Homo-oligomer: A and B are copies of this chain.
Amino acid sequence: LRVGYPEVVYGEGKTSEQVTEIATYMQAKGQNVLITRSNDHMYETVVKACPKARYNPLGRTISIVNKAYQETSSKISIIAAGTSDLPVVEEAYETAKIFGNKVEKIIDVGVAGIHRLFNQMDRIREAKVLIVVAGMEGALASVVGGLVDKPIIAVPTSVGYGANLGGVVTLLGMLNSCASGVSVVNIDNGFGAAYNASMINRL
């Protein structure tokens, strides 16, 4: 449908065989492929048929670049509160990459140690669009939103326990952000955030 775009396969609930079949078909057509929510076994099956497949175990993505692409000159920054948010960061990173974006990760800048965030403000301000990944109360989205005049796509993560309700509290907190310029995607949806950011970065 969308000419030149990589094919994206949502791996959850698909067998390694089903995914490999799609990947092989796309390889034959010379198209790039991104598989999200994959796993070790899926990668091992895919890579046999598609030797260019590259696996990001933390982000649970498989990227297959069959056709070189031109990277954007403008940049997407992915900002994350803590190390437990890394799986979502990596899903977003791999997505942004294979959609042809220059992309940068700035992690461990949660608001409990806000000076670390301030130390990164110059790098953050260079980006054209920001992805903010956070769990718990999701305060990082508000703080970044107050500091930067760029479109921000916030991704709540399911990191937390007790009254966190599997990320629902983080999600609703981000939607209530007192800072303007923040829009939100589903819990743990690094792919969706990066797809969105890519659209904006390419404008």
- Residues of chain A whose beta carbon lies under 8 Å from any beta carbon of chain B: 1-2, 8, 12-14, 81-84, 110-114, 128-129, 136-139, 141-143, 145-147, 149-151, 153, 156, 158-189, 191-193, 195-196, 199-200, 203
With both chains docked as a complex, state the minimum distance between the C-beta of A107 and any C-beta of chain B, in angstroms: 14
> In the complex, which of the residues B163, B181, B188 contacts A162, with contact meaning CB atoms closer than 8 Å?
B188
> In the complex, which of the residues B1, B111, B145, B153 contacts A142, with contact meaning CB atoms closer than 8 Å?
B111
Q: Are A195's CB and B181's CB within 8 A? A: yes
Q: Are B203's CB and A128's CB within 8 A? A: yes
Q: Are B139's CB and A114's CB within 8 A? A: no
Instruction: List chain B residues, Cβ under 8 A from A196.
Output: 151, 180-183
With both chains docked as a complex, state the minimum distance between the C-beta of A84 and any C-beta of chain B, in angstroms: 5
> In the complex, which of the residues B112, B137, B162 contacts A173, with contact meaning CB atoms closer than 8 Å?
B137
Q: Are B181's CB and A136's CB within 8 A? A: no
Q: Are B169's CB and A162's CB within 8 A? A: no
| Distance between Cα atoms of A200 and B180 in the complex (Å) | 13
With both chains docked as a complex, state the minimum distance between the C-beta of A140 and any C-beta of chain B, in angstroms: 8
Known pairs A200-B200, A203-B128; A186 contacts B176 (CB<8 A): yes
Q: Are A178's CB and B142's CB within 8 A? A: no
